[in-house]
Chains A and B, each alone.
Chain A
């Protein structure tokens, strides 16, 4: 194998590596669709965040508009605080409702934003007031059984 053929082969090898990186960036990963650090921050407080995790998507009407950046517990109120990073092109009214929703019955949990009608928009660092906590299956079932029990006991009377 001559020197130049080797060079060509190695050049093609490196080029293939670059194509693979581009594939990773554009198709497999989400470098273009969302770059962390870009956009403005919002805060939302929940009684229970369920299975919501850092980096979970924030969606509005099913479209990804941002990501959960950090989650921590407020030491005084024992509320879960989620920091959201929202892409700059999307703006939400101050009466927007943030809800933790599950995609599918057992799928990944994400944060859903339902825009309201207020004319004032939320700005960087502001807090979403209206929130709806995650549904916890055990509580749901417990509630259902309690209601059922109440119904049946009511029927007897």
Chain B
């Protein structure tokens, strides 16, 4: 009986903690969104953050995209050729990449590469009182530090996702056509016959945009609310990657159901 009560008490306390954190996050997100337009006017700040978040993530995105495309081609060919439909490889690979893997894997990599860096940077700025110093110099840290990093994530992730998908298609082409020997014409024509620009490519981009908002907000929130100690910043960085990844996968499921349910 006491065990049950302890369990319920623990559960209740945990739920309250989560709720308190969510409340804190909601207020913070509102503050960031309210400051975002003013921050976007400082174009130089935004460019700098797109450089650190977007451009610096390019290498990992391109290389991962190439390899994911190559693996998809090998595995896809394995299955398709059993049914004599190896020509459909192009459409299989392109649809997988454009609808799902491009936005999702790019977002997961982005959370690990750029999101964690943003959290660590903001967390360290807090721990070393740089944010407090800024505030005392009558410069709002949310406008000056937080909002540009959030906007950079929103701007970078769709670009990275479409680059990831392109790299994947090229990787699949290299393996499927150059290595395995599928007809190059069939590869491209099957692909373009089945991939619709508006329904598949633009929906994929929209997903990436939503993921950018999610990863961006989580990264800056965890950094801004990190405990001002080394452990606090380390924990916040881990939380950014974990919570971002879970959010991306959850959002992906919801968006996929909303977007593609009516199609088939």
Known: A21-B162, A28-B201, A106-B85. A9 touches B195 (CB 8 A): no
Contacts of A17 in B (CB 8 A): 158-160, 162-163
Chain A, residues 25-59, CB within 8 Å of chain B (1/0): the string is: 10111110100100000000000000001110100
Which of these, B47, B55, B162, contacts A24 with CB under 8 Å? B162
Contacts of B83 in A (CB 8 A): 105-106
Distance of A44 Cα from B54 Cα, bound (Å): 50
In the complex the two chains form, is B196's CB within 8 Å of A3's CB? no
In the complex the two chains form, is B165's CB within 8 Å of A24's CB? yes
Residue ID in chain B nearest A55 by CB atoms: B196
Residue ID in chain A nearest B263 by CB atoms: A54
Distance of A19 Cα from B167 Cα, bound (Å): 12
Question: In chain A between 5 and 30, which residues have their CB closer than 8 angstroms to a CB of chain B?
Answer: 6-7, 9-10, 12-14, 16-17, 19-21, 23-25, 27-30
A142 nearest CB across to chain B (Å): 23
Q: Does A104 contact B (CB under 8 A)?
A: yes
Residue ID in chain B nearest A7 by CB atoms: B47
In the complex the two chains form, is B84's CB within 8 Å of A104's CB? yes
Residue ID in chain B nearest A37 by CB atoms: B198
Of B10-18, B111-119, B185-193, the one touching chain A: B185-193
Q: Does A64 contact B (CB under 8 A)?
A: yes
Q: Does A107 contact B (CB under 8 A)?
A: yes
A15 nearest CB across to chain B (Å): 10
In the complex the two chains form, is A23's CB within 8 Å of B166's CB? yes
Main secondary structure of the interface of B (DSSP, over half): helix
In the complex the two chains form, is A6's CB within 8 Å of B162's CB? no
Question: In chain B between 168 and 218, which residues have their CB closer than 8 angstroms to a CB of chain A?
Answer: 169, 188, 191-201
Number of interface residues of B (CB under 8 A): 37
In the complex the two chains form, is B197's CB within 8 Å of A13's CB? no
Contacts of B55 in A (CB 8 A): 9-10, 12-13
In the complex the two chains form, is A10's CB within 8 Å of B198's CB? no
In the complex the two chains form, is A27's CB within 8 Å of B162's CB? no
A28 nearest CB across to chain B (Å): 5
Contacts of A13 in B (CB 8 A): 50-51, 54-55, 58, 156, 159
Residue ID in chain B nearest A17 by CB atoms: B159
Residue ID in chain A nearest B164 by CB atoms: A20
Q: Does B44 contact A (CB under 8 A)?
A: yes
Contacts of A53 in B (CB 8 A): 263-264
Distance of A106 Cα from B156 Cα, bound (Å): 41
Q: Does B88 contact A (CB under 8 A)?
A: yes
Residue ID in chain A nearest B204 by CB atoms: A24
Known: A10-B50, A13-B50, A36-B198. A29 touches B85 (CB 8 A): no
In the complex the two chains form, is B192's CB within 8 Å of A28's CB? yes
Contacts of A57 in B (CB 8 A): 193
In the complex the two chains form, is A27's CB within 8 Å of B193's CB? no
B75 nearest CB across to chain A (Å): 19
Contacts of B44 in A (CB 8 A): 3
Contacts of B196 in A (CB 8 A): 29-30, 36, 55
Given contacts A13-B58, A27-B169, A28-B191, 8 further A-B contacts (CB under 8 A): A3-B48, A6-B47, A16-B163, A20-B162, A27-B192, A28-B195, A30-B196, A57-B193
Q: List 28 A-B contacts (CB under 8 A).
A: A1-B51, A3-B48, A7-B47, A9-B51, A10-B51, A10-B54, A13-B54, A13-B55, A13-B58, A16-B163, A17-B160, A20-B166, A24-B98, A24-B162, A24-B166, A27-B169, A28-B94, A28-B165, A28-B169, A28-B192, A29-B200, A29-B201, A30-B196, A36-B196, A53-B263, A53-B264, A55-B196, A106-B83
A interface with B by C-beta (< 8 Å): 1, 3, 6-7, 9-10, 12-14, 16-17, 19-21, 23-25, 27-31, 33, 36, 53-55, 57, 64, 104-108
A-B pairs with lowest CB-CB distance, top 7: A17-B159, A31-B197, A29-B197, A20-B166, A20-B162, A29-B195, A30-B192
